[in-house]
């Protein structure tokens, strides 16, 4: 799984767990709907840290908590092909 796919899965998982839509997350985070849609659809593969910070805050988390998942902790950028 690619880094961007792990981020998307994290966002989708947290939205499902908390019963919120991607649209609602955009509103809660203050991120443009199109920006969040592009991340979730895989168009934007490397969201800025500011964007991740806003998403994490919308979930009531720090960026560290948001990114602290098994898949990311085990991820190696050396194994990922450049797009």
- Can you list the domains of the chain with their CATH numbers? 3-73 (1.10.260.40)
pLDDT value, residue 77 = 79
pLDDT value, residue 1 = 83
Report the candidate in 6, 82, 81 with the shortest Cα–Cα distance to residue 42.
Answer: 6
pLDDT, one tens digit per residue, over 2-46 is 999 999 999 999 999 999 999 999 999 999 999 999 999 999 999
pLDDT, one tens digit per residue, over 55-73 is 999 999 999 999 999 998 8
Integer Rg of the chain from CA: 12
3-state DSSP call for residue 74? coil
Alpha-carbon 60 to chain mean position: 14
pLDDT value, residue 47 = 94
pTM: 0.88
Instruction: Please determine, for residue 83, whether its predicted confidence score (pLDDT) is greater than 90.
Output: no
pLDDT value, residue 79 = 66
């Amino acid at each position: 799984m690619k880094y961007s796919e792990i981020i998307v899965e994290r966002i989708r998982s947290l939205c499902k767990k908390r019963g919120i839509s991607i649209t609602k997350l955009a509103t809660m985070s203050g991120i443009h709907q199109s920006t969040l849609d592009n991340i979730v659809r895989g168009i934007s593969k490397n969201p800025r840290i500011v964007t991740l910070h806003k998403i994490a805050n919308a979930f009531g988390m720090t960026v560290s908590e948001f990114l602290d998942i098994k898949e990311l902790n085990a991820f190696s950028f050396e194994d990922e092909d450049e797009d």
